[in-house]
């Protein structure tokens, strides 16, 4: 168990994903300063806000998140910063502590279970094809840039990271990404993504009709 400063957001950071942030609230400016001083490498936890707003506090927060490792910090005017972090590993929040001044939680690492069957590689390839097709449909509706529609070159050769990459590349919202983050292992994550894509494809085709 470890105590981590936390950055709740209206988005989901997945392991292997990049997180660009504009840090402007005084409490998160303090959090960033503390991270840079106290941890090597500097890192914090990121979780989805399930209800409420990012700014000002008073939000409700998810209980599964991702550790974000700080890659780059660029100071801006008035004490603000542009930050780039990468998701490194999944965590469970076991207890939220008082915000003083920023959110802090007790966390446990939550590695993926090895639930891969013998047909996993075939399922992964099939799901990758479906994600590409969904992105093509989304590009036709200008939901994503046309130039990015078929871009799946960054999918990892590692089977666990590959499922996270597909979760990030699929044209889905934060709630669905959170369902995928919360899957026990890569096989369950693929199954959940396949079910989500059923609805996404139907919705996109309806909008195109």
Residue 120 has pLDDT above 90, yes or no: yes
Q: Which of 1-5, 6-10, 64-68, 86-90 is the least confident region?
A: 1-5
Residues in CB range of 67: below 8 A, 6 or more apart: 4, 43, 44, 45, 46, 87, 88, 89, 90, 91
CATH number of 2-109: 2.30.130.40
Domain ranges of the chain: 2-109, 120-208
How do strand 104-109 and strand 43-51 relate by DSSP bridges?
Answer: unpaired
pTM attached to this predicted model: 0.90
Mean pLDDT of 84-109: 96
Structure confidence at residue 55 as a pLDDT band (50, 70, 90): low
Per-residue model confidence (pLDDT) at position 127: 95
Q: 3-state DSSP call for residue 104?
A: strand
Per-residue model confidence (pLDDT) at position 152: 66
The angle that helices 159-169 and 186-208 make with each other, rounded to 10 degrees, is 20
Per-residue model confidence (pLDDT) at position 151: 63
Mean pLDDT of 100-106: 95
Per-residue model confidence (pLDDT) at position 60: 87
Residue 27 has pLDDT above 90, yes or no: yes
* pLDDT tens figures, 144-178: 765 565 566 678 889 899 999 999 999 999 999 99
Average pLDDT, the chain: 91
Per-residue model confidence (pLDDT) at position 59: 75
Long-range contacts of 146-153 (CB under 8 A, 24+ apart): 152/128
């Amino acid at each position: 168990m470890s105590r981590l400063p936390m950055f709740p957001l209206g988005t989901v950071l997945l392991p292997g994903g990049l997180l660009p942030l504009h840090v402007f609230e005084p409490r998160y400016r303090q959090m960033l300063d503390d991270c840079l001083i106290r941890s090597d490498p500097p890192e914090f936890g990121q979780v989805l806000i399930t209800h409420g707003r990012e700014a000002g506090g008073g939000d409700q927060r998810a209980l599964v998140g991702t550790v974000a490792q700080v890659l780059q910090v660029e100071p801006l005017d008035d004490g603000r910063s542009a930050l780039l972090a990468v998701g490194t590993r999944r965590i469970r929040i076991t207890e939220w502590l008082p915000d003083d001044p920023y959110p802090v939680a007790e966390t446990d690492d939550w590695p993926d279970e090895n639930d891969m069957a013998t047909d996993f590689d075939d399922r992964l390839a099939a799901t990758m094809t479906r994600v590409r097709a969904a992105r093509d449909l989304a590009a036709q509706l200008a939901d994503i840039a046309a130039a990015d529609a078929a871009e799946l070159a960054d999918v990892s050769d590692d089977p666990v990271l590959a499922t996270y990459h597909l979760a990030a590349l699929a044209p889905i919202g934060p709630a669905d990404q959170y369902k995928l983050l919360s899957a026990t292992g890569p096989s369950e994550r693929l199954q959940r993504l396949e079910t989500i894509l059923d609805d996404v494809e139907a919705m996109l085709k309806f909008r195109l009709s």
